[in-house]
Structure formats: structure tokens, C-alpha cells
Chain A
Amino acid sequence: MSEFFTSVLLKKELCKGCINCIKRCPTQAIRVRDGKAFIIKEFCIDCGECIRICPHHAKVATYDSPDIMKKFEYNVALPAPSLYGQFNNLDDVNIVLTALKKMGFDDVYEVSSAAELVSEMTRKYVAENEDKWPVISTACPTVVRLIQIRFPNLIDHLLPIYAPVDLAAINARNKAMKETNLPSEKIGIIFISPCPAKVTAVKSPIGIKKSEIDGVLAMKEIYPMLLPYMKESVNKVEDLGKSGRIGIGWGSTGGEAGALLTDNYLAADGIENVIRVLEDLEDQKFERLEFVELNACAGGCVGGVLTVENPYLAKVKLKRLRKYLPVACSHLDTEESADAFWTEDVPYEPVFKLGKNMRESINKMAKVEELMHKFPGLDCGSCGAPTCKALAEDIVRGVAKEEDCIHILRDYIHKLSDELSRFDKKK
């Protein structure tokens, strides 16, 4: 990836320059400069924590407007399984799918259906690649990006298979082209997403060359639009659903791993927990584990920043919905599906590196240590960096100065006024 993209936007006029987001960011990617928050793009992993925490709603996610459908002649909606967990008393996903068609989509292709295909492929991959254990799931783009910039030794463990939404996009496009005879560019593949990280994953995909998704809509924006159509659909439900318990289970933590039909897995969610698990995985603290499912959001995809419902309630709703469904409805041998293995290498991107070479880096690190002795160690955030250490690193990187620390500035002013008064007396 040559250019770094982030799906988080700052509404400058709303930003007060407080320290909430810089403190919450798990990769210390945010600084307050000139009184406004600023994201260091190459450090950002699109987890959305800053959007969640900002009390002034100055941080917003980028996503497409439903108007994007007007660009295409034929639109296919790709609903994420977490969408089904947003509604009260929903007992049939077909109601949601029918409503999507009433809303203006020409067809629907459930991401959960592609997820069942990915689960089948994963089962085979895990069984055949014992040397890659524990295999780490790659459905959450935030986790993949995090590993790419911070856990180089784990890159080899990444599951080299398309995320369900990316496979769904290819399959949906092929199906639409076949059914309509339209050229590819006239077909819009529109994902209804629980999180903004997918916006980034579409613009700068990891592991695949190009994403087949044309637009990403926010679940929270589609939700109120869908409700009236759902009421309308109840009386005449189209049978569109093609996923079972496995596919819909992907919407919350444990669903992906549970679909592998082994007990030998670990599933963790919430970005801080994910980082702790990755640290320990890197130290090889887990032996004989086959699979690791990691979700940046608490609760899994139902906890995405663009969802409406409380993630834990959404999880209950998904559970109820799944209860009477068949285990899986989509299978590789019966479904027409594209080959879904990654085609691109995932190189380590050492974005946090201090210097150009080891000698320069050591020098800079020594300077960081030196600065740390000067700073009060309060991690107050007044300088705009999340910790004293982050400020010290910024200084050696040449993007901040010592006097940004208000404690150092205060000492400096004291000294200056002392000298001035001495000068005054001499006179």
C-alpha cells in the first residue's frame, strides 16, 4: 500500500481539542495540534474508537450516501449479518431482505451466505496447514492492518482467504452479470456495513488486488429507511435468505471460530483485548491452538461503530434468529463461487520505526530516554500527545518541541521571569 487512507474524518468546527480521543486511540495515532485533533494516517487502523469516545461528535466515519445507487443501472445489496441483529422481534431474515428490495435494490446477496463458503474453506485450510497454527482470522480489516504494522511475526499466520464481504461482492457481481447481461460497470455492489474500517478496506485492500465493492452504506443510516418497508413486507415475504446458523453467527464474536467445528480455538473482541492476545501470540504463549478469531469491536461486528443496537442485545437477537435455522445453507460444491484465496503478499510495514537505520534509531531512542527524564511522567495530554513518551518520540521525529510540555514551559517561564527581575534590580 503506497498511500495510507483512514475512514475517520474530523469536523473541525466541533473539535474542542480535548484529550479524549488521543487517550483512547490504541495505536497512539492522534495528536492535538493547533487546538484540533489530527490523525497520523499511517498509524491509524480504523478501529473507530475515537468516533465512539468523542463527546463533541467531531469524529465521524466516512461512508457513501444511498444516492450512490443512482450511478448504476442494477444494484445489489450486501447486508452484513450484524444487520439482522438490529431489529426487535425479527423472526425471519427474509423480511429484511424483501425490504431491501422494496427500498430500491434490484437484488440482495447475503454476506452471511458467502461467510458459510469462507467457513468451509477455512476448515480445509486449517486442517491442511498445521504449520500455520494458530491461524488468525482476517475478516476484521482493523485486525489485519494492526498485524501488518505491529506484529510482523504473525503475518504468516493470517488466514489467506477473502473476507466474506469481499467474496460476496465477487459472487454477487458474477450472478448479476449473468442474470442481466449488463457490463460490470453498470452493476453496483453495495455493502451495508456495521463499521467504517470496511470503507478503508475497499479503498486500500490487503491481500487482494482490488475490492469488488462499489459502495459502503452505514447500517445506522439504512436502519430507519428500512423500517417502513419491513412493515410493508411482512404480508408478502420473498424467500431470499440463503444462510443458516453458521453464516448468521459470523455477526458476533465466536461465530466464525465456532463454525470450524473444533473446540481448539480462541475468540477475543475489543481492540485492547485483541492487542493483548496478539502480544501473547507473538511470544508463543499459546500452544496447540488451531484458530484465533479476533474482532476489533466489543461483541464482534454487532459492536461496530455504524450499528444502532447495543451489541450484546444484538447478539441475543442473532441467537434467537439462528435457533431454528439449518446449520448451513450455502456450500462450495453447490454454490457458484469464485476462488477466494488471497492473491497479494502482505508485507510488514514498520510505520513506528524511529530512524532510517539502526544507528540512527538507537540515537533517537537514547534521546527519547533523555527527554523522559525531563518530563513529569504525568501523561496529562496537555501537549497534544497521549503520553510523555509519545511526545518524546514526536520530538525526535521532528514534529514536536520540548516546550509543548506545559511543565517544561512553566519552568522556562519561571526562569525567564527570575532573570528579568534580576535584570530589573541591576538597573
Chain B
Amino acid sequence: MNEKIVLRYEVDPNDFTRAGEASSNVKRRLKLLGVDPDIVRKVAISLYEGEINMVIHSYGGIIEVIISPEEIEMILTDKGPGIEDIELAMQAGYSTAPDNIRNLGFGAGMGLPNMKKYSDEFNIESTVGVGTTVKMKVFIPKE
């Protein structure tokens, strides 16, 4: 018996045409699995925010999504500048996105706060000059 599905996606920096590919793909799979629409929504929003963050800020990275009957775990690991002050970055509206990104409609400073809001477990670790890892979990209530 397989109890888990493990999915891996590579994220290219600055490739906005492909941004959202991972979250769309995961969303489609969750629907095939018959996961409750509310759970799908939470995963899709938090994962999309994370994916966009990687596209805007990192030098590239990997998204790993592990689906089990109990939970959906998302691990986003990137190489990049890292975050100097995580507490500040977690504040709604705080953004370091450059103007050209903001002109595209991104960089509102809601990425990390939304990821925290829509996931049930949220953990972020970052080393300046090395990169950032975000781990999120969304729990699936027992049927």
C-alpha cells in the first residue's frame, strides 16, 4: 500500500510565465484525490504565495509536496539572499520587492503573512546569503 504521494517541482527565478505551475498541479491532484474543497483552497493559496516568493526573491529552488491521508506537507527550499529580519518580513505589507515586480501587481507584502494564515503549521528558517526554507502543513480532518 502506498500511503504517500511525493511531488517535486523546480522553481526558476524570474520566470513569471511558469510561476504558479506547482500550485496548479498540486491543486489538480488534490481534486483527483477527492480532498475537501476548503483544504484544496488553503493549500493552493499558501503554495502559490510561496512559489511566487521564490520566483521574485530567490536564485531558484525546489518545492516538495508530500500528500498523505492525514496532511499535506509543503517544503519550499531556495538558494538566495535569505531574509535578514524574519519578524519584519512576516509583517503584513512589508516588502522588499523591487519596483518592476510591484508594477506586475506583485510585492504587496502579503506573501508570508498569507502563507501563515492559510496553513495550519508554518515554519520558516533563513540564512542570509545562503537561502530560505519554508515548511507548511495543512491538516486533513478525519473522514
* A361 CB contacts on chain B under 8 angstroms: 32-34
**Binary contact readout B34-45 vs A (1 if CB under 8 angstroms, 0 otherwise):** 110110110011
> When A352-B32, A362-B69 are in contact, do A282 and B41 touch as well, CB less than 8 Å?
yes
Given contacts A283-B23, A283-B45, A358-B143, contact A363 B1 (CB under 8 A): yes
Count B-side interface residues using an 8 Å CB cutoff: 27
Q: Check B31 against A355 for contact (C-beta < 8 Å).
A: no
- Across the interface, do B35 and A153 meet the contact criterion of CB distance under 8 Å? no
CA distance A152 to B2 in the complex (A): 27
Complex interface: chain B residues within 8 A of A279 (CB):
24, 27
Q: Is the interface of A mostly helix, strand, loop or mixed?
A: helix
Contact B5 A353 (CB under 8 A): no
Once the chains bind, are B44 and A365 in contact (CB under 8 Å)?
no
Residues of A within 8 A of B45 (CB): 283-284
Q: Kindly identify which residue among A283, A357, A362 contacts B4, using a CB–CB cutoff of 8 Å.
A: A362
Contact present for B5 and A359 (CB under 8 Å): no
A369 on interface, CB distance cutoff 8 Å: yes
For residue A150, which residues in chain B have a CB less than 8 angstroms away from its CB? 31
Give CA–CA (A282, B26) in the complex, Å: 13
Closest chain A residue, CB of each to CB of B47 = A283
Contacts of B85 in A (CB 8 A): none
Which residue from A282, A350, A357, A362 sits with its C-beta under 8 Å from B2? A362
A222 in the interface (beta carbon within 8 A): no
A366 / chain B contacts, CB cutoff of 8 Å: 2, 4-5
Minimal beta-carbon separation of A251 from chain B (angstroms): 33
Q: How many angstroms from the CA of A353 to the CA of B143 in the assembled complex? A: 15
Bits for A280-306, please: 1 = Cβ < 8 Å to B, else 0.
Answer: 001110000000000000000000000
Instruction: Give which listed residue, A153, A352, A369, contacts B41 with CB less than 8 A.
Output: A153
Task: Give 5 A-B contacts (CB < 8 Å), ordered by A residue.
Answer: A153-B41, A279-B27, A350-B34, A358-B69, A358-B143
Interface of B toward A, CB cutoff 8 Å: 1-5, 20, 23-24, 27, 29, 31-35, 37-38, 40-41, 44-45, 48, 67-69, 140, 143
**A-B CB proximity, top 5 nearest:** A152-B37, A366-B2, A353-B34, A361-B33, A358-B69
